[in-house]
Amino acid sequence: MAPRFLKIEDVQEILNISSQQAYSLVRSGDLPAIQVGGRGVWRIEATELESYIARQYEVARHKVDRSEA
């Protein structure tokens, strides 16, 4: 069974982005996340990451559609 929550490092690897870019997505609210524990470690629900990816595909489709018009 896949884990429900991912670490920032997991998101970095999946999206092939830097840690700064991953934290920026979380801080901006583009990628919903929660802080867990006394140290406030960020965790991203796997379904939220999949939703983010789907939204990015939709944005890309709109850009392509506008450029073809």
pLDDT per position as a tens digit, 20-59? 999 999 999 999 999 999 898 999 999 999 999 999 999 9
Domain that holds residue 64: 5-68
pLDDT of residue 56: 97
- CATH code at 48? 1.10.1660
Alpha carbons 68 and 18: distance in angstroms, whole number: 32
Q: Greater confidence, 16 or 64?
A: 16
pLDDT band for 16, please (50, 70, 90 cuts).
very high
Q: Greater confidence, 54 or 67?
A: 54
Kindly report the three-state secondary structure assignment for every residue of 12-49: HHHHCCCHHHHHHHHHHCCCCCEEECCCCEEEEEHHHH
Give the number of domains in the chain. Answer: 1
Q: What's the predicted TM-score (pTM) here?
A: 0.88
